[in-house]
Amino acid sequence: MKALSQKRRHPLAAVVLLAIALILTGGLYAVATASNQAQAASSTTYTASDIEEGQKLFVSNCATCHGLNAEGTVDGPSLVGVGAAAVDFQVGTGRMPMQMQGTQAQVKPRQFNDEQTHQLAAYVASLGAGPTVPEDEHLDVTKGDAANGAKVFLANCAMCHNAAGAGGALTRGKWAPTLMGVSEKHIYEAMETGPQNMPVFNDANITPEEKRDVITYLKAQEVNESPGGFKLGSLGPVSEGLLIWTLGLGIVIAFTIWLTSRSA
């Protein structure tokens, strides 16, 4: 005991203790969220308590704009029939609840954890049939075909999201966001629900397998470095032109000044 109390007084003791505490909390949190994710992904059916809890969350957080029974108001559309996938996408990416009314809901730190998102989805799904949260099988990029994904992506997505998924402009201040760093599940859900002004790509238009191929193509873009060097945002000729007028011309001018100046 004495030895322990002596050690406790060691100046590093506090640091060690803090580190242990942090690791423990972090580890526990990781385990907890992992189990939550597993739960959310594996369950295709929702329990009555999920729906009940979801309704409570809905009334206190979403009803101002979407109405007490999600029937919609002037500030927000009806959520009857949008399905669990729409909720999982909008809430899971932090777009909902919106910070303010604007041209478009923005990505921000998410307001609800996985369990709460799951409960909200359960409630909205109970209001009317709609797209469901995708199966793990359709998110597995090791099973996808990037070549087919590239075809589907270039025909249906690249016009708004750019060929490299870097995003692009829409009318009147709206925009198509970048697809880099978006999770497989959220890409899938965006295609099946058509959030904001994005068109809906239902399973008759782009089949679940094709959606997986698109995700595979995007993930291949994401995990691979550009062989040519820095990508300059993958924005095409504009960022290249900007670079030559700034860095390129800057280096050239520095050399011309040095070259024509008198040596000391």
Site for other proteins in 101-120 (CB under 8 A): 103
Neighbouring C-beta atoms of residue 263, cutoff 10 Å: 4
Under rule CB under 8 A, residue 219 binds other proteins: yes
Residue whose pair of structure tokens reads 């199966």 in the numeric block: 135
Interaction between residue 240 and other proteins (CB under 8 A): yes
Closest C-alpha to 126, from 204, 200, 58: 58
Tell which residue, 187, 190, 195, has the closest CA to residue 212: 187
The yes or no reply on residue 234 touching other proteins (CB under 8 A) is: yes
Q: With beta carbons less than 8 A apart as the criterion, state whether 111 and 75 touch.
A: no
Instruction: Count Cα neighbours of 125 within 13 Å in the Cβ-side half-sphere.
Output: 23
Contacting range for other proteins; rule: CB under 8 A; set: 3-11, 45-53, 89-97, 203-211: 203-211
Residue 129 touches other proteins, criterion: CB under 8 A: no
Closest CB 13 distance from other proteins, rounded Å = 43
Tokens describing residue 220: 């291949």
Neighbours of 49 (CB within 10 A): 10
Q: Which is nearer to other proteins, 96 or 122 (CB)?
A: 96
Per CB under 8 A, which of residues 168..197 are in contact with other proteins?
168-176, 194, 196-197
One-letter amino acid at 90 equals: Q
Considering beta carbons, is residue 116 or 156 the nearer one to other proteins? 156
229 near other proteins (CB under 8 A): yes
Nearest CB to other proteins, comparing residues 89 and 112:
89
Q: Which is nearer to other proteins, 18 or 254 (CB)?
A: 254
Q: Is 29 in the site for other proteins (CB under 8 A)?
A: no
Show the tokens assigned to 233.
């945002």
Q: Number of residues in contact with other proteins, rule: CB under 8 A?
A: 84
Under 8 Å between Cβ of 171 and 249:
no
Find the binder of other proteins among 67, 76, 92, 149 (CB under 8 A). 149
CA separation for the pair 125, 85 (Å, rounded): 9
**Does residue 224 belong to the site contacting other proteins (CB under 8 A)?**
yes
Structure tokens at 24: 């423990």
Q: Which of 51, 96, 166, 191 binds other proteins (CB under 8 A)?
A: 166
Token pair of 13, please?
């003791």
User: Applying CB under 8 A, does 158 fall inside the site for other proteins?
Assistant: yes
Kindly state the smallest distance separating residue 185's Cβ from other proteins, in Å: 16
